[in-house]
Structure 1
Amino acid sequence: MTRNVGGIDKVLRIAVGILLIVLALTGTIGAWGWIGVLPLATGLFNFCPAYKLLGMNTCKLKK
């Protein structure tokens, strides 16, 4: 797995993932909040399968 998630994209994914999971735990948005596991995982692992399919990369390139 090559890294393809970085910078502000990573921070937003983690924040949105945690927010959705917390809302699911409190019962505010129901079971759909558990979908927050996906952005949380992609943010923590720095890899997004959809980005790979689309050829996208938000990581800074090392020279």
Structure 2
Amino acid sequence: MTRNIGSLDQAIRLIFALILITSPFVSGLSYFDTTWMTYTSVSLGVVMLLVSLIRICPLYSILGIRTCKSC
């Protein structure tokens, strides 16, 4: 598959992934008191992290979007 995520997009996804993965464990927010919310946040964070590392977004492929200029 062809890469379709540029450097800036990759950095933004990586930052949001790390925030989603760590926030249930370091924040005292009440909406992370439920187990399903913690699992959802960590699961979305892991997906965003993997997409950021491989630089291929399936949704971008379906919609025909490419943020990578040189790929």
Q: TM-score, normalised by structure 1?
A: 0.83
Deviation, 1:27, is: 6.3
Runs of 5+ unmatched residues, structure 1: none
Q: TM-score, normalised by structure 2?
A: 0.75
2:41 aligned to which of 33, 36, 58: 33
Partners of 1:12 and 1:27 in 2: how far apart? 20
Quick one: higher RCO (CA 8 Å, sep 6+), 1 or 2? 2
Runs of 5+ unmatched residues, structure 2: 33-37
- Return the index of the structure with the highest Cα Rg: 2
Moved over 4 A (4+): none
CA root-mean-square deviation:
1.6
Identity %: 34
Aligned counterpart, 2:2? 2
State the one-letter code of the partner of 2:59.
Answer: A
| Structure 2 residue 25 is the aligned partner of structure 1 residue 16 | no
